Amino acid sequence: MADKKVVLTYDGLKKMEEELENLKTVRRKDVAEKIKEARGQGDLSENAEYDAAKEEQAEIEARIVVLEKMLRNAEVIDDEEVSNEVVSLGSTVEIYDVEFNETMTYIIVGSAEADPMNGRISNESPVGKALLGHSTGEKITIETPDGDAIFEIKSIKR
């Protein structure tokens, strides 16, 4: 089975590359030093510091594998191709929530970059998926667990 393509913005690509570099050059060395120090304390069978360091090492190595796979399958969104006419990956969208009389701004990104608490929603999320392909002034009804939510698209930017 083919690996799933990972859609990233240029910023997301850079952050992922920086995280990978940090894990390989800094965190690996730090955890290796922790393991070395823990080994120096003697009996490893009852050494909590050693166990914690080995667990941290496994987590770092697993994250490295995940990041490398994602970067191999990355498709970067070209800012020049992002339309101001319709919502697409890479768009910054200002929407108005009719029920709560609230305006929100989101950037539509791939699932690997999603961070809803910081205004970055996935194109695969219910709101992100519903907004795709629509233009300024349109009202969108999105089915949520709490009932239908109605949003109006106020603006679309790159």
What pLDDT score was predicted for residue 1?
Answer: 42
By percentage, how much of the chain surpasses pLDDT 70? 99
Structural domain ending residue among the three candidates 43, 76, 109: 76
Q: Model confidence at 2, in pLDDT bands (50, 70, 90)?
A: low
With 0.85 as the threshold, say if the pTM is over it.
no
Tell me, yes or no, whether 90 and 68 share the same domain.
no
At 52, which CATH number?
1.10.287.180
Tell me, yes or no, whether 87 and 46 share the same domain.
no
Q: 62: burial class by Cβ within 10 Å (0-12, 13-18, 19+)?
A: exposed
Q: Can you tell me whether residue 23 is helix, strand or coil?
A: helix
Tell me, yes or no, whether 52 and 98 share the same domain.
no
Tell me, yes or no, whether 47 and 94 share the same domain.
no
Q: Which domain holds residue 134?
A: 79-157
Please write the tens of the pLDDT for every residue from 42-98.
777 778 888 899 999 999 999 999 999 999 999 888 877 777 889 999 999 999 999
